[in-house]
Structure 1
Amino acid sequence: MTEIFTRIEHSRTADEVVQQIESLILEGVLRTGDRLPGERELARQFEVSRPILRDALKALEARDLLVTRHGGGTFVADVIGQVFSRPVIELISSHRKAAADYLEYRREMEGVAAEYAARRATADDLALLDEIMARMDAAYRADDFEAEAEVDVEFHHAVGECAHNIILLHTLRSCYRLLSEDVFQNRLLVFALPGAREMLLEQHRAIHSAIVAGDPAAARKAAMDHIAYVERTTAEAERAGDWQRVSRLRLRQRTEPGPQQKD
């Protein structure tokens, strides 16, 4: 892992170590599942004694921000999953209106995130966006639907990070968690619609270009237009799926012999 921890001014307590790790989690630098360096390396980066470091890690673990796996190291705990409880996630997944509400909410939030990103993105933020766009192009050329869907989510993650607003960042992350856990089972159907992959790629390029250009209004419009398109194509994909299901049943009913026709 790249060194992201900085030297702690000489202190007799673990408080400063705790505060630095807390800030890295809150700012989205450390994500759920990220593994921290080993104890010796971490103590070196912080320039603190190992007893002080252990106290800090224990304090963070007691607050459910870190988790230690026996023989496997120390990791950032699942702090995002707590935004939507498991019962709520199950309710969302079983009610079709929730999917529409989810996209409606995302349309507004993605617009704000893109606008802020155009105002606030640093050179390092833009370098990360460039790298993600390059991988999105590669997935498109490879006709890899699943890779495209994964990079799609990562792109929106990055835009949320470029916005440099902690509340917006974690709110959006909780939304993307629903995608990564396949709460909305039809998300890959959109990529199968004629012309959809090309359109989605162009929309992501438009968001990226507006952020790079530092144009907040264009970035907001591009992001909202993108989610509005996803709303329309999701509904279209669902209708097409229903039509296919009904037509398949109709064909089966009319061509397969019924019980009374069998010998």
Structure 2
Amino acid sequence: MKEYKMDTVRRSTLSQLVLEQIVQLLMNGQLKPGDKLPAEMNLMEQFDVSRPVLREALSSLETLEIITRRPRGGTFVNEKVGSNPFKVMLALSINNVPAVIEARMSLELGLVTIAAEKITDDKLELLKETIDSIQANPEGDYGQLDKEFHRIIAQSANNPVVEGMIESLLISHEKTDSLIPYREPDVTVEHHLAIYEALKNRDPYEAFKQMYKHLSFVRAKLLDSIERE
């Protein structure tokens, strides 16, 4: 069995430290795209953690598409992980909520200005449908509609270079969305409509302004929630 040189995880940071250790193995070249990880029992011994802790870390890595777990086949590092550093950086900071929301803001503010120049009428129609659906069912769990709204805008930038950034953006959206303590559908609809109108008018300056207003509101709500814990 191959032995990796790593620090033993001994304190109660649990799965996050295991995740960081595995990412570090990728960064220093001990693990490479396509490599098969040792069996769970071996990893538990090397990291000195329990099976639930290890599985939580592996689940997070799989969500980030850094590894793939194959039934009865083992766990493998994805071949494309080396070409998508954004997911690796996100993996290292996924529990640093202020950093995640700021990263999301930096990506979305750039993407929305490009989208204002490139968005098609079809995409605008899809955007409006997400807003209408939230209005029609304000008491529902509209997290997926919110995510779809932001996904459409990001993809409307139509730039293959930032494709990996968009995937990370959606992962960070899920992370921040899961931490929102309460919903305010009227505010969401108001903000989304303002962004939609700016995009419809092909106005990148107004689109930036309205997206900043929206994401600043989300950031303030999240940070306030964290401070109250």
Given the alignment of the two structures, is residue 209 of structure 1 paired with residue 197 of structure 2, yes or no?
Answer: yes
Given the alignment of the two structures, is residue 84 of structure 1 paired with residue 54 of structure 2, yes or no?
Answer: no
The one-character-per-residue Cα deviations of 1:89-122 (angstroms, maximum 9, x if unpaired) are: 2x4344xxx2111211222221121111111111
**Distance in 2 separating the partners of 1:185 and 1:214:** 28
In structure 2, the residue matched to 1:139 is 137
Tell me by how many angstroms 1:236 deviates: 1.6
Length, aligned pairs only: 154
Given the alignment of the two structures, is residue 188 of structure 1 paired with residue 180 of structure 2, yes or no?
Answer: yes
Which of 230, 233, 249 is equivalent to 2:218? Answer: 230
Tell me by how many angstroms 1:229 deviates: 0.9
The answer as to whether partners of 2:180 and 2:221 remain within 8 angstroms in 1 is no
CA RMSD of aligned residues (A): 3.2
Normalised by the length of structure 1, the TM-score is: 0.50
**Distance in 2 separating the partners of 1:219 and 1:78:** 37
**Distance in 2 separating the partners of 1:84 and 1:213:** 33
The answer as to whether partners of 2:100 and 2:172 remain within 8 angstroms in 1 is no
Tell me by how many angstroms 1:165 deviates: 1.7
Gaps of 5+ in 2: 1-69, 71-77
SS at match of 1:189: coil
The answer as to whether partners of 1:108 and 1:224 remain within 8 angstroms in 2 is no
SS at match of 2:87: coil
SS at match of 2:129: helix
The one-character-per-residue Cα deviations of 1:126-184 (angstroms, maximum 9, x if unpaired) are: 122122222222232xx01x3x211111100000111112233430221212443xx45
The answer as to whether partners of 1:113 and 1:168 remain within 8 angstroms in 2 is no
**Distance in 2 separating the partners of 1:238 and 1:223:** 23
Point out 4+ residue stretches in structure 1 off by more than 3 angstroms: 77-80, 183-186
Alpha-carbon spacing, 1:136–1:79, altered in 2? closer, same or farther (3 Å): farther
In structure 2, the residue matched to 1:198 is 186
Partner AA of 1:233 in structure 2 = K
**Distance in 2 separating the partners of 1:188 and 1:204:** 17
**Distance in 2 separating the partners of 1:78 and 1:208:** 37
SS at match of 2:131: helix
Normalised by the length of structure 2, the TM-score is: 0.57
Given the alignment of the two structures, is residue 176 of structure 1 paired with residue 164 of structure 2, yes or no?
Answer: no
In structure 1, the residue matched to 2:9 is none
Task: Among all aligned residue pairs of Structure 1 and Structure 2, give the percentage whose two residues are the same amino acid.
Answer: 21
The answer as to whether partners of 2:109 and 2:208 remain within 8 angstroms in 1 is yes
Alpha-carbon spacing, 1:102–1:131, altered in 2? closer, same or farther (3 Å): same
Gaps of 5+ in 1: 1-68, 70-76, 243-263
In structure 2, the residue matched to 1:101 is 99
Alpha-carbon spacing, 1:115–1:103, altered in 2? closer, same or farther (3 Å): same
